[in-house]
Amino acid sequence: MQHLTGRASLVDRRPMTFMEKMYIPAIAKGLGITMKHLFKKKVTVSFPEEKRKFSPVFRGLHILNRDEDGRERCTACGLCAVACPAEAITMEAAERKPGEEHLYREEKYAARYEINMLRCIFCGFCEEACPKQAIYLTETFPPSHYQRSGFIYGKDDLLIPDPKHPVETTKTQG
């Protein structure tokens, strides 16, 4: 039978010699490997002090982008949801009402946009499928949560804050 990888080797079934029974060559070979690695540069990164460099193809947390005027780019075309192999993206479209021209750039917008990060495989197909460049993957790790509901990111979690119309948050004390 021919092997696919070509890395298969036959097992030697001969009886062991006296030196092989002593295991001295095997011990010396193991010590040689240990000594070789002892003087190599360490690959461990001391995290808080040193930041790890990301690969140029790293795909992290999703972000919904805005245009130059601060309006949402997403037109709820659904191409990102169709392109997602894990079916992690769900959205509902709505019509823009008169007076909302400063919020949405097209007549149709995503009223509800959710990404289930437990299902997402970070393939980047949603980013490639979007004709408006509304969604992209950043170099940010998704944070950890204690409940499953924390991994479902809604439109409010994904949308970049509007620099022209900042939302004032009021803290209530309870």
DSSP state of 3: -
- Predicted confidence at residue 173, as pLDDT, reads 47
Query: Of 137, 126, 128, which Cα lies nearest the Cα of 87?
Result: 126
Q: Is 159 annotated as a binding residue?
A: no
What DSSP letter does each residue of 45-100 carry, written as one string?
A: --TTTSPPPPPTT---SEEE-B-TTS-B------HHHHH-TT--EEEEEEEPPTT-
Domains along the chain? 62-158 (3.30.70.3270)
Q: Is 120 annotated as a binding residue?
A: yes
Q: Is 71 annotated as a binding residue?
A: no
Q: Is 73 annotated as a binding residue?
A: no
Q: Look over the chain and give the mean of its residue pLDDT values, rounded to a whole number.
A: 85
Q: Is 130 annotated as a binding residue?
A: yes
Q: Is 77 annotated as a binding residue?
A: yes
The answer for residues whose C-beta is within 8 angstroms of residue 13's C-beta and 6 or more apart is: none
Cα 81 to Cα 93: distance, rounded to the nearest angstrom: 12
The pair of structure tokens assigned to 51 is 């930041």
The pLDDT tens digits for 48-87 are 888 878 888 888 899 999 888 888 888 999 999 999 999 9
